[in-house]
Amino acid sequence: MKLVEVTTKKEQQRFIEFRRKVYKQNPLYVDNNLFMIKEVFAKKTSFIDNKKIFVINVEDKSEVLCQGIIVYAKDLKEYIQLCFFESMPNQQKAVKLLVDKAIEIGKKMGCKKLVIGLNGHVNYGLGFLNSHFDTKNSFSASVNPEYYNKYFKSLKCEEINLNTYKINALDNRIDKYKGIINKLNKNYTFKFFDKKQFEYFAKIYTDLNNKSFINHRYYYKRNYQEDIEMLKELFLFMKEESLIFAFDGKKPVGFIMWYPDFNELVKQGDYFGTKHFFKNLIFNKQIKKIKVMEYGILDEYRKVGLPIGLLNKIFEVVKGRNFTNVETSWILEENKDSNSVCEAVCDELYKRYVVYEKRIK
């Protein structure tokens, strides 16, 4: 058994083929990360800027057993990250070899902790699925078989838990907040992203993220180019109405991002890619679920009810369409404010996720 650092195009192809093998063996799942990994290999993304990246296969007799991308981000110096992990079952020794390699690299970088399940930045993914292993993942949601968690639990990692929530019907539930909503509509202006002013609104999005999530676990500052690239990719599929901003006069104070669950366009066991752009043009109206991806609000505006005002705008946009239910993205269990909003508006706690940390000694 050996570690193989992936550096050549041939080795990169083997890395990708292993991912496809894993997902084909789990036909409920859709691979939403393959596109990003290909961009990393092609060095076409600013994801690679200010980072040291080590792509690793663990092999035995030329057969890949598990794999991951070890990332050191200069703006998150405390952590070495094990990202985009995949494995075949019953490979505890191979997984430990990979984890030990990540710790070895982390020591050289002066890191204090290994984090497993953070994909370079929280905007690219956080957490392993820790419930509902028999359901298809929504767009951008992590997915994995249950045995992944058993690997890391056996290594006695600290567990950081995350929640998602579900709304089972797009009904008039927001109406009970009419008093708050009417007040917000008088005092604030809500605007959709305008692609004609792409860079202007993209920069607002970046600034709000950097100010809203400054104390969020694992978050570190984004630059404009990173978010421009990410939003350009998302806007191949989502519409301007999917990114809504709140303004206090001319001052941007909050945003919310949502989109249809594009994974409904993808065959189970397949990967999401540009081919689904054309499928989305034809079959978008058949998508039933929407995904509330994130919202960010400046500290001084969190107590005025802006999350409800932004959620209300989503309900207004989708009213009368074919959508039937809503799933939220992950929320750290320690984020009491966001969990309380979801508990008030949503019908149920839904999928659970977990991130693993291990102190480097």
Element (H, E) at 293: strand 289-297
96 and 46 belong to one structural domain: yes
Q: Is there a domain that residue 99 lies in?
A: yes
Rounded Cα gap, residues 297 and 256, in angstroms:
9
CA distance 266 to 318: 22
Looking at the fold, whether 183 and 294 belong to one and the same domain comes out as yes
Are both 130 and 174 inside the same structural domain?
A: no
CA distances from 274 to 125, 133, 176, 211 (A): 19, 26, 41, 32
Nearest 5 degrees, angle CA 86-CA 90-CA 93?
A: 80
Q: Do 246 and 330 belong together in one domain?
A: yes
Give dist(CA 303, CA 306) in Å, integer.
8
Instruction: Please check whether residues 176 and 96 belong to one and the same domain.
Output: no
Would you give per-residue pLDDT tens digits along the chain (361 residues)? 999 999 999 999 999 999 999 988 887 899 999 999 999 999 989 889 999 999 999 999 989 999 999 999 999 999 999 999 999 999 999 999 999 999 999 999 999 999 999 999 999 999 999 999 999 999 999 999 999 999 999 999 999 999 999 999 999 999 999 999 999 999 999 999 999 999 999 999 999 999 999 999 999 999 999 999 999 999 988 999 999 999 999 999 999 999 999 999 888 777 777 676 667 666 677 899 999 999 999 999 988 999 999 999 999 999 999 999 999 999 999 999 999 999 999 999 999 999 999 999 8
Specify the pLDDT at position 280: 65
Angle at 96 between CA 92 and CA 101, to 5 degrees: 155
State which of 112, 142, 163 marks the end of a domain. 163
CATH code of the domain containing 98 = 3.40.630.30
Residues 215 and 121 in one domain: no
pLDDT at 268: 74
Cα(88)–Cα(65) distance, rounded to whole angstroms? 6
Q: What is the pLDDT of residue 134?
A: 92
Q: Do 80 and 157 lie in a common domain?
A: yes
Q: What are phi and psi of 269, to 5 degrees?
A: 85, 0
* Pair 48, 140 in one domain: yes
Last residue of a domain, one of 131, 163, 195: 163
> Do 177 and 325 fall into the same domain?
yes
- 65 is a domain residue: yes
Whether residue 147 sits in one domain with residue 214: no
- What's the confidence (pLDDT) of residue 175? 94
Q: Are residues 291 and 146 in the same domain?
A: no
**Residues 250, 274: one domain?**
yes
The domain boundary, picked from 112, 145, 163, lies at: 163
